């Protein structure tokens, strides 16, 4: 299964709630367990980068952090504001 398929399956089917969304996933396979995780700190910095491109309300972000023996994953789901509301320009 490709990554694109995963996201296709994951997203809501209804076209009525067609909001723009940005989803960021970070997975860290760890071999050394004695070091502190840097994902929580990384999360803040990633959001700072995202905010350069789009307006993101704090309310519009949902965060999920999962951890098991060998791996930790950070998932950020962001509902983007409507195009009309955006006032930041993207500098390409």
Task: Return residues touching a second copy (CB under 8 A).
Answer: 1-4, 6-9, 11, 18-32, 35-36, 38, 41-42, 45-46, 49-50, 52-54, 64, 66, 68, 71, 73, 75, 83, 90-92
Query: What residues does 79 pair with on adjacent strands?
Result: 21
4 half-sphere exposure, CB direction, 13 A CA radius = 0
* Phi-psi sector, 44: left (phi>0), alpha (psi -120 to 50), beta: alpha
E strands, 31-70, in order: 61-67
Is the distance from CB of 81 to CB of 54 less than 8 angstroms? yes
Query: What is the closest distance, in whole angstroms, from the C-beta atom of residue 58 to a second copy in the complex?
Result: 19
Q: Residue 8 or 57: which CB sits closer to a second copy?
A: 8
Query: What is the closest distance, in whole angstroms, from the C-beta atom of residue 59 to a second copy in the complex?
Result: 18
Query: What is the closest distance, in whole angstroms, from the C-beta atom of residue 15 to a second copy in the complex?
Result: 10
């Amino acid at each position: 299964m490709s990554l694109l398929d995963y996201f296709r399956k994951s997203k809501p089917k209804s076209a009525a709630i067609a909001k723009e969304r940005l989803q960021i996933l970070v997975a860290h396979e760890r071999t050394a367990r004695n070091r502190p995780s840097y994902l929580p700190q990384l999360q803040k910095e990633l959001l700072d980068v995202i905010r350069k491109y789009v307006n993101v309300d704090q309310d519009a972000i949902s965060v999920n952090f999962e951890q098991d023996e060998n791996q930790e994953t950070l998932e950020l789901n962001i509902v983007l504001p409507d195009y009309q509301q955006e006032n930041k320009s993207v500098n390409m």
